[in-house]
């Protein structure tokens, strides 16, 4: 095939002048290497975000007492969020699986015989487990009857259990929370620590009524954990809840909210935000390298067209058409960027592997950067190759062979 033969001519010309070819390639190598690393870091960051969302619960919405925009901790002094609000959400908002109200307090001293510790106390309803997808690994959860009778029972986390009872089973034993005696009826599954280092397992759950009336002595709650039936409805549910609470709390448009709504989406966005600066810097580096590399490539090609005028004239004399010449120079440009892309991807992969070994930066290697790099290589090769190729094709053989 004529096309094949011309491609081989282009590749041979590149091979015949390796130094020039290397300089044409350098920008692409750096740009693609940077792109590969960026994408590995991007996927790493995204994986971390997904883990956060997974941890928060993809279908969860938190209605939290207190204004502002950030994630918890909630403002424990705000007293406007009530059980009636939770009830209203259950009744009026469509698409909800659970809406579980809770109140909590941190740093409550707890004793068991001579052993003592401090933990966070959550006053919850029976659907708490379902709302958090967090169940007992031993014993029984807080039951509806416990809430109805203001029972002095609790379910404790594994850290608290270990701190107070070592390796013994705590089921059926008693602890004192703020000098009120509670019977332990269950132990929660282990959850580990939060991204900021809070130990999820250092806690005790008690019935909501017991907590509000006996322990905290308050008629308001701290948050409502809402779980939507369908992931697609998360935005609409969020909107409905906001509107409902707005109305119920009689908040005027000019006033600040006394509550916050946080969804998995918001959690994800927040996690994304922290990794943004570094990667936008690297994206700029990659873009700049590709651009500078492209311009360098174009200029070397233009010089090369000048140097190779006689060769071009000769090719035309022995039968090359303008298109053949155009095509050969485009092939040379594209061969440079595509080989640069292969070397750059290799270099980028090596750098990524080194990052993986030596730093904590999350990285994920995948095929996507290769596909994108190939796209960029073709784009840069064509875009910056076209002008030199046109120039070569437009040369008049009579003029250059004189």
Contacts with another protein, residue ranges (CB under 8 A): 1-2, 5-6, 9, 12-13, 16-17, 310-311, 313-324, 397-398, 401-402
Q: How far is the CB of 400 from another protein (least distance, A)?
A: 10
Shortest gap between Cβ of 314 and another protein (angstroms)? 5
Q: Would you say how long the chain is, in residues?
A: 402
Q: Which two tokens stand for residue 288?
A: 């700049």
Write down the least CB distance from residue 20 to another protein, Å: 11
- Cβ closer to another protein: 212 or 320? 320
Strands (E), 253-305: 259-263
**Cα separations (Å) of 192 from 65, 118, 189?**
25, 17, 9
**CB of 12 vs another protein, minimal distance in Å:** 8
From CA 295, how far away is CA 28, in angstroms rounded? 11
Of 18 and 250, nearer to another protein (C-beta) is 18
Select 29 or 392, whichever has its Cβ closest to another protein: 392
Task: For the chain, state the CA radius of gyration.
Answer: 33
Nearer to another protein by Cβ, of 14 and 208: the residue is: 14
For 53, phi then psi, to 5°, come to -60, -40
Q: Token pair of 148, please? A: 């109805």
Work out how close the CB of 351 gets to another protein at its nearest, in angstroms, rounded to a whole number: 35
Number of neighbouring beta carbons within 10 Å of residue 22: 15
Cβ closest to another protein, residue 172 vs residue 319: 319
Task: Report d(CA 165, CA 370) in Å as an integer.
Answer: 55
3-state secondary structure of 26: helix
**Whole-angstrom distance, CA of residue 219 vs CA of residue 95:** 27
**DSSP character string of 347-372:** HHHHHHHHHHHH--------SHHHHH
- Tell the smallest beta-carbon distance from residue 13 to another protein (Å): 8
Report, in Å, the least distance between residue 339 CB and another protein: 19
In whole angstroms, the minimum distance from the beta carbon of 311 to another protein comes to 6
CB of 343 to another protein, least distance (A): 23
Phi and psi dihedrals of 78, rounded to 5?
Answer: -75, 130
Query: Any idea what DSSP says for residue 254?
Result: T
**Token pair in block for residue 235:** 């935005």
Q: Which of 71, 68, 82, 59 is nearest to 222 (CA)?
A: 82
Nearer Cβ to another protein, position 17 or 80? 17
The separation between the first and the last C-alpha atoms of the chain, rounded to the nearest angstrom, is 31
257 vs 309 by CB, closer to another protein = 309
Residue with smaller CB distance to another protein, 311 or 368: 311
State both tokens at 341: 């892309």
| Smaller CB separation from another protein, 46 or 311 | 311
């Amino acid at each position: 095939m004529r096309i094949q033969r011309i491609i081989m001519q282009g590749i041979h010309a590149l091979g015949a002048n390796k130094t020039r070819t290397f300089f044409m390639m350098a920008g692409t190598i750096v740009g693609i290497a940077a792109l590969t690393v960026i994408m590995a870091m991007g996927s790493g960051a995204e994986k971390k975000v997904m883990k956060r969302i997974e941890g928060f619960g993809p279908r969860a919405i938190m209605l939290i007492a207190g204004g502002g925009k950030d994630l918890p901790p909630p403002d424990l002094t705000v007293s406007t969020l009530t059980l009636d609000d939770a009830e209203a959400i259950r009744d009026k908002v469509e698409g909800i699986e659970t809406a579980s109200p809770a109140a909590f307090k941190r740093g409550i001293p707890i004793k068991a015989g001579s052993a003592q510790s401090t933990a966070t106390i959550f006053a919850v309803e029976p659907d708490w487990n379902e709302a958090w997808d967090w169940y007992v690994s031993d014993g029984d959860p807080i039951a509806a009857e416990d809430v109805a009778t203001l029972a002095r029972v609790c379910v404790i986390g594994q850290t608290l259990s270990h701190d107070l009872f070592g390796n013994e089973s705590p089921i059926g034993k008693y602890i004192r929370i703020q000098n009120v005696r509670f019977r332990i009826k269950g132990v929660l599954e282990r959850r580990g620590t939060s991204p900021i280092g809070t130990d999820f397992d250092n806690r005790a759950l008690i019935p909501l009524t017991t907590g509000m009336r006996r322990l905290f002595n308050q008629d308001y709650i701290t948050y409502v954990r809402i779980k939507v039936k369908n992931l697609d409805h998360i935005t609409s549910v969020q909107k409905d809840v906001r509107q409902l609470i707005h109305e119920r709390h009689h908040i005027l448009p000019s006033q600040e909210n006394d509550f916050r709504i946080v969804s998995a989406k918001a959690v994800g966005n927040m996690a994304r935000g922290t990794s943004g600066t570094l990667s936008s810097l690297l994206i700029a580096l990659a873009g700049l390298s590709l651009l500078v590399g492209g311009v360098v490539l174009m200029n070397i090609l233009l010089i090369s067209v000048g140097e190779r005028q006689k060769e071009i004239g000769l090719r035309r004399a022995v039968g090359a058409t303008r298109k053949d010449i155009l095509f050969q120079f485009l092939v040379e440009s594209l061969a440079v960027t595509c080989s640069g892309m292969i070397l750059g991807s290799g270099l980028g992969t090596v750098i990524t592997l080194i990052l993986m070994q030596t730093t904590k930066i999350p990285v994920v290697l995948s095929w996507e950067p290769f596909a994108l790099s190939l796209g960029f290589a073709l784009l840069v090769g064509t875009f910056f190759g076209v002008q030199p190729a046109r120039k070569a094709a437009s040369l008049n053989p009579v003029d250059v062979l004189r």
